Structure 1
Amino acid sequence: MTSHVEETLVLVKPDGVARNLTGQVLARIEAKGYTITDLRMLVPTREMLVRHYEEHEGKPFFEPLVEFMGSGPVVAVRVRGQRVIEGFRSLAGATEPTTAAPGTIRGDLGRDWGEAVQKNLVHGSDSTLSAERELAIWFG
């Protein structure tokens, strides 16, 4: 087998931070065997969020999403490991917390809150290109 070490961005979103779930998310990342190489807590600026979610600009959920993500602290995590992009997305679970499998972050800790924007605790980059772009936004 060939080595495929990569880095990804993981965000603990404002709902995860507000519910004091950051430690559980980080523990799951480490228990999976991935390495946390950088971590910071910040309230993201609108500019950062518009850059991060640029592919969704113009969609009906864009403004509520940007507003939600800027509503409180976010924990940004640079994670490194073998196939970590695919691995973290599997660990996070399906985007919709109601249908996310038990054993995943969203399946165990998330639920539908009946609000205009989906609060699903975490974000993980979906490709190496996205990871590079997103890590540059959040870590410079």
Structure 2
Amino acid sequence: MPETERTFVMVKPDGVQRGLISEILERFENRGLKIVGAKFMQMDRELAEQHYAEHEGKPFYDSLVEFITSGPVFAMVLDGQDATRQVRRMMGATDPAEAAPGTIRGDYGLDLGRNVIHGSDHEDEGANQREIELFFDEDELVEWDKIDGSWLYE
């Protein structure tokens, strides 16, 4: 079986409030990605500021922090071949107005500030690991064999 990678994904407060967790999770599982960690949580301001540290000083930073702490989120770590890139494709463009139909943001988002989901950037490998470590302790991630792996990968 080919080498896989882990990626961080989070259903944001708007996605949680709209009841989209199961729909979004189902899309990832149907694609063949494996859940290795998941938690339903309320982010505090400190975690939100660490999560969005790269945007500190930008005009939208405060509104990002306020929004992500406004309600619960569903954080998860998915595993699969080229998982980060796969998740980014499935999410669609950051601005839902530019996201293709069939993507998560294209199907469920209408506004840039309420775009339902966050996923690690596939072009910044360090960001992915940093986000996983921000939200999950190593003992919260489960290593397991998915029985359909031989049917998903050559």
TM (norm. structure 1) is 0.93
Task: Specify the alignment match of 1:60 in structure 2.
Answer: 59
Contact 1:40 1:77 in 2 (8 A): yes
Aligned-residue Cα RMSD (Å) equals 1.2
Q: Which residue of 129, 133, 136 corresponds with 2:130?
A: 133
- Cα deviation code 1:96-133 (max 9, x no counterpart): 01110001000011112xxxx71100000013211110
Matches within 5 A, 1:76-91: 76-91=75-90
Paired with 1:82 and 1:14, the residues of 2 have a C-alpha distance of 28
What are the residue-to-residue correspondences of 1:1-140 with 2, within 5 Å? 3-112=2-111, 118-126=113-121, 127-140=124-137
Match of 1:98, SS?
A: helix
Determine which structure has more spread, i.e. the larger CA radius of gyration.
2
Q: CA deviation at 1:4?
A: 3.8
Q: Which runs of 5+ in 1 are unaligned?
A: none
The Cα shift of 1:31 comes to 0.7
TM-score, normalising length from structure 2?
0.85
- Structure 1 runs of 4+ aligned residues shifted over 6 Å read none
Distance 1:4 1:130 in 2: 20
Q: CA deviation at 1:42?
A: 0.6
User: Which secondary structure state, in structure 2, belongs to the residue aligned with residue 72 of structure 1?
Assistant: coil
For structure 2, list consecutive stretches of 5 or more residues without a partner in the other structure. 138-154
Deviation at 1:46, TM superposition (A): 0.7
AA matched with 2:62: E
What percentage of residue pairs aligned between the two structures are identical?
Answer: 46
How far apart are the structure 2 equivalents of 1:105 and 1:39? 19
1:3 deviates by 3.0
